[in-house]
Every structure is written in structure tokens, then in C-alpha cells.
Structure 1
């Protein structure tokens, strides 16, 4: 769960600034923000030491902040109704996993992790954002990254300062927030994308080594667009299902004597599957083939053949639907209808069990695809989806 969104009116950074001044009677020391993300391809490979290919959204979560001298953290968030919600103040020295519940656990978890690295000064925070929540677009990681940069900034450490931990190290801190404080078994994809993506590029990340390449992704120049289809559904078993699949891949790696499934070469998949129990084989098949699909997609993008990645997106969705079993009827329908209305390829994106799908479409087909998916949902008796065109945008940083 993440805080409510500020959907209308001021941009997130300005909204956070003005709300801070309203709440505290003074302007903040600064405002930092971080984007949500879309993963073009490479799903559930990050916690298997594999490859991912995300890009940042223009939608952001902003944190306006000023320091306190009493080691207390206060957090307010501006909701879509323009009303402020406040989390209970917490003393940073007293923070422990499980000590904060609800959306307030995310900023508190950041303070808890930074405390272990010598940053334990208190702060007043006011948050505002327009990253769609519950859409599988990483709103919670955007919050955590923005808060991490804000607390570091209050300590005099900005991202361009050589004394500041690098972006990959901050991403690992944010992973600790999710894994150890909030209790979500996430990998490194989301926070790394939020911190390291750049405008007009996708981020080719080797999760094991931390090596990254900014790969050009100018779909507009080719008359193509990425349409995001937020199904506005989240199934109740998502958290347990995510954990079950992660444990399954870890068990498979252990049975094979490997550090991670990343170590299975694509041409060695068959022999590896033969050594595993039947229930683990689909999980392993997805991870190994998905890693290869990322590599194949990057090769096409490097060769300026973006329009040819559609079949890889399609294959990714089939793998997640049939092997990893994390798709839903809503996601499958969105993908199917998008393809029928001109998509070169389409797939679900994110952790699954709800959330969003993406479709690579000619610009001329975007409106028709969105309308067709909405009509199909209406015929099925489902809530209307939310659609928007995703433009690769810049990563986290200081705004004001």
C-alpha cells in the first residue's frame, strides 16, 4: 500500500512544497522526487540475479522535507481529494520491523535503514504524487526512493555529491525497506529503475553485477507508442503468490546447486528441467526464457529494430500466464484486445495478480485500442480500466 495520490492541479513537487508550507507554516528545506516505472520486459528475473529492462514514467512521488533535532519523523500525504492524511509521528531510534503499520511503514522503513548508516536526524515530510497506486507501476518504491533522497539531502548529501552512496547502493537500501521492514519479498528492479533510468531510454540492468546500460528507446520517432492499461484490479492472493514463486525459484536453484537461476544457460534449460520436480519446472522455464527475451530485446533495440520486439512481448505474457501463473482474466483480456486492435505486441507488466498491461502500438491505433479494451471490460461487467501513453522519463532527483 502507498499513500493516496494527488491527481489534479499542481505538479507533485509543487504540490508537496505548498502543502508543506500549509502544514508547517514555513517552506520546506527542499523537495525531492522519484518516478514510477514500467518494465518493458524481464519480469520476476530480478530476484533470480537476472536481467531487466524498465523505463521511468513521467508520474512521480515528491517528498518535501525539513530537518528536526529530536529524532522524530512526521509524515503527511496529500490525497487525491486535496486533503492531508497524517501518519503517527515516530521516534527513529525506536523503529523496528512491524512497529509501523499501513502506508506510514514505507517512509518509516526508509528512516530505519538510513539510521543503520548513520543518518538518524529527525525530519518533517509531506508527500504528494501522481503515480497510479495498485497498478503495478511501483508507487511504493517511488515513495521510498523520494524519501531516501530527501533524508540524505537534509544531511547535505545530494546524488551528484561524491560523498553520497551511489544509486545502486541506495536501491539496495530501499530493497531492505521492502524486505525487512515492510515484509514484501521484492527484488531490485523497481527501486533501481526509479533511481537510475534516464529520459528517452530503457535501462538494461544486470541485477547480479549492478552493471547498467541506457539503451535508446525513441518509439515516437518511429510512430509507435507504449500504451499502459491499468486494469484497476488487485487480487487478494498477490502477496502470498509472489512469495510462493520466489521461494520456488530459490528452491530450484538450491536443488541444482546454483547461486541463482540466472546461472542456467538458455541452451541448458532442458537438462536443468529434467533434474527438477515437476512443480518447479514451469517457474524455472519462465525465468530462463525471460532472461533470454530481455537479451534478445536489447539486441533489437541496439540495432534500431524497435518495431520488431512485439513477438518477444507476446511470448513474455504467455510465459507469465502459463508458466509463472501470475496473470488474471483482466490482464489477459487487455492483452488480447490490444493485439486485436493493432498492437505489435502486448504483455502484463509488474508483479502480477492484477495491475497493468502494456501494448506497443502504432500511434494511429492508440485511441482505438484504449476504447476497445474499455468496451471489452464493460461487456465483462468489470470496472473501466485506466489507460495512458507511457513516455520514458528521467529518474529520481532534487526538484526544489
Structure 2
């Protein structure tokens, strides 16, 4: 964190001059179970990882927002005209800065508060394009900064909805609320069990270290983009199925109703959501009951991946081969995490088997001509907070 703060401070001085009023951090996340269930009002089990975006920010005397990014070295400036209601897509801020403009726009749209300008420098070590929610980390860090700078009091639930709305409606990425919730509400040493319909969150003990286990993130370096058509297609599939079954969301479907669906594709999509919700509930119940040996999650994680592969069709061969290599290398379980179509795999493994597993994954990637994977240890970490 100290390094990120230093980088954000240096970037602020280089782009704008002077010293920022403060620093705000927001993390990326992994999702242990509950994939593509959030926008179906279902259940999820994510937690924040120790990789953050830091926003160094100050109020501005002018009614404009200036944003610098360490990732690109670029400074983007936009004014009120590009965050007004009913803005044509062609006039909206684009690229990475759209997430910042989207937060400003969503704040006004959902609270009626028109905030003043700001200067913001962003530094991040959340891997980009890895399915670890770097976009939510960016959005949440900016929202945290703007709320403090302009003394806007929002509860966590409201912050989640504002950042989700910014991504959905301004950026055009049809995400659910999982990413933002994990980035805002996570606590060290716990996983968040969330009911996405009610937004009720329960912090459940997740004792990785004391049981000699590690959760390893394997960034396959096969980038994904949530705004691509495939993700939106899956969401539309779910909405059409819910409409056909006469329910508000697929969270309300039971297995027996699958028989009434008109085609096999729709049955498979719904079956994934129904069974994924059940897997997530099973894991949450065992954690709530005090289960300390987390190896039980391995089987549920693998079942989840197979369902995402066969029924929901959001994996790619690189993800599937990585899961198989992790199992051969000694992992208790592995699965893709994030929206799919690239990104990362999470692996639950004994600490002493970590290197052997990583070596097997590297070897298999090399054999198939894939990019060299990157490995990160993912301990449950703190959510968004001011760091200076």
C-alpha cells in the first residue's frame, strides 16, 4: 500500500502539481462461488484480495474533472457537459476514464447531488484484464474520494448501487453487484456471503492460513472484457428464461421447472444458475456452522467450473486446461473466476504443494503455446478505505 500511495502522490504532482487532499484505496476481488448468479438475484461468495487501486485526489476550483492514470500515463479532462443526463453515447467519455465520468454522472443521477470538480491521480496493482475486477476497484476508489472531498454521506448499499449504475449505464458494461459489493464491504479474514436480491451481506470466517491452505489466483493472461457481446448475451438468456417461467429472476426457479423450458440451450443456462446457487448456499452454511477445514470447497469449485464450461459456456480452452493442470498439480479444486471468456482461475491448494502446482500449470501452458501465466496469493483482505 505504501508503494501505491507513493506512486499516486508522484503522479498527482507530475500531472497537476502540489499535494493531494487525501488518498483512497479500493481492492479487486475473487469470487469463491456464485458465478453469473448476481444479476439473477441469487447468492455469491466473494472476498477482496490484497491488490488495490489508490486514488490521490483534491477538490478543484474549476467545474471540471482531471484524471491521470499510472497505467497509461494519460491525463483526461472532462466537464459537466459530458456527464449530463441523456448524453449521446458518442459524446460520453470513453476508455478507462469512462469509469470516473460514470461515477460523477451516477452520483448526480441517483442522489441529486452535483459535485464540484476534482483532480485525481490513480495508481493500481490490480492485474488488468484478469477478471479480478480492476474496473470496480477504480470506480469505488473514485467514489470514495469524491464522497469524502464533498462530504457526501452514503451507506455501503448506496455506494454499491451507484458504482454498478455507473458501469451499467455510462460505461455500458452489464455487470451485477458482486464486484462492487466485494470491493466496498469486504473484511480481512472473511468471505462475504451475499443475497443479491436483498443486498444482505454476512461476513463468514475464511481461515485459509490456519488450515495450511492457499488460494492462488492464476492470471492466464487471456484478457476478457465485460462489455463484449457474449456476457450480455448470457444475461439476456437468463432474462428470457425468467420471463418464460413467469418468475422475477432465476433465483426463484427450482429444478423441476427446467422441464417446462422450450429448448435445451435455455435449460442449460437455467440449470447452471440453479445449481450454482445451491453450491454457494452449501458452502455458506458450512462456513457459518464453523467448518475450519476448507478443503471441502475444492469439490464445489470444480463442480462450478464444469457447470460454467458445459451449461453456461463462458470458459475458454485456456481456462479449462489451467483447471486441469491445477488438479494434476495437487490442488483440491479450481475454477474460473469472474465473467469468463478469459481472465483468471482460482486454485485451492495445500501450502506445501503450491510450487508443484504452479510448475505444472506453467508446463501445460508452455506445451500449448499459451502466454506465461502469473500467480498471486489471494488472502481475504480489507475493502475500500481511506489510506491517507
TM-score computed with the length of structure 1 as normaliser: 0.92
- Deviation readout 1:238-270 (Å, 9 max, x if unpaired): 721100000000010011110000011xxx313
Of the three residues 129, 133, 149, the one matched with 1:134 is 129
Distance 1:94 1:227, change over 3 A: closer
Quote the Cα distance in structure 1 between the aligned partners of 2:360 and 2:348: 15
- 1:271 aligns with 257
Mapping for residues 156-175 of structure 1, pairs under 5 Å: 156-157=151-152, 164-175=153-164
Paired residues of 1:110 and 1:147 also in contact (CA < 8 A): yes
Note if 1:388 corresponds to 2:383.
Answer: no
Q: Give the number of equivalent residue pairs.
A: 379
Matched, 1:190 2:185: no
Q: State how far apart, in whole Å, the 1-side matches of 2:66 and 2:178 are.
A: 28
- Find the aligned partners of 1:119 and 1:306 in 2 and give their Cα distance: 47
Answer yes or no: is 1:301 the counterpart of 2:287: yes
Question: Residue in 1 aligned with 2:229?
Answer: 240
Asked if residue 59 in structure 1 is aligned to residue 51 in structure 2, the reply is: yes
Q: Is the 8 A contact 1:92 1:111 kept in 2?
A: no
Distance 2:349 2:314 in 1: 24
Partner Cα separation in structure 1 for residue 227 and residue 220 of structure 2: 15
- What corresponds to 2:99 in structure 1? 106
Q: In structure 1, the residue corresponding to 2:228 is in which secondary structure?
A: helix
> Of the candidates 208, 213, 225, which is equivalent to residue 202 of structure 2?
213
> What is the CA distance between 1:156 and its match in structure 2?
2.2
What is the root-mean-square deviation in Å for CA atoms of aligned residues? 1.6
Confirm or deny that 1:286 pairs with 2:278. Answer: no
- Secondary structure at the counterpart of residue 125 of structure 1: strand
Q: Distance in 1 between matches of 2:219 and 2:28?
A: 13
- Post-superposition shift, 1:24? 2.2
Match of 2:302 in 1: 314
Whole-angstrom distance in 1 between the partners of 2:61 and 2:104: 14
Q: Which runs of 5+ in 1 are unaligned?
A: 1-8, 158-163
Judging changes above 3 Å, is the alpha-carbon distance between structure 1 residues 379 and 37 closer, same or farther for their aligned structure 2 residues? same
Matched residues in 2 for 1:325 and 1:139: separation?
23
Partners of 2:88 and 2:56 lie apart in 1 by: 25
After superposition, what is the alpha-carbon deviation per residue over 1:182-238, rounded to whole angstroms, capped at 9, x for unaligned?
011110000110000000100001010011100011111000000111110036897
8 Å contact kept, 1:97–1:182: no
- SS of structure 2 residue aligned to 1:84: coil
Q: Is residue 22 of structure 1 aligned with residue 27 of structure 2? A: no
Does the 8 Å CA contact 1:92/1:115 hold for their aligned counterparts?
no
SS in 1 for 2:375: strand
Structure-2 separation of matches of 1:173 and 1:146 = 13
1:274 deviates by: 2.7
Quick one: distance in 2 between partners of 1:271 and 1:22? 60
What stretches of structure 1 move > 3 A for 4+ residues in a row? 235-238
Task: Tell me the residue number matched to 1:397.
Answer: 385
Judged with a 3 Å threshold, the aligned counterparts in structure 2 of structure 1 residues 10 and 213 are, in CA distance, closer, same or farther, namely closer
* Alpha carbons of structure 1 residues 387 and 251: separation in structure 2 relative to 1, 3 Å: same
TM-score by length of 2: 0.94
Q: In terms of mean alpha carbon deviation, does 218-227 or 13-22 score higher?
A: 13-22
Work out the CA distance in 2 between the residues paired with 1:237 and 1:85.
Answer: 23
Q: How does 1:29-108 map to 2 (within 5 A)?
A: 29-79=21-71, 84-87=73-76, 89-95=77-83, 96=87, 98=89, 99-108=92-101
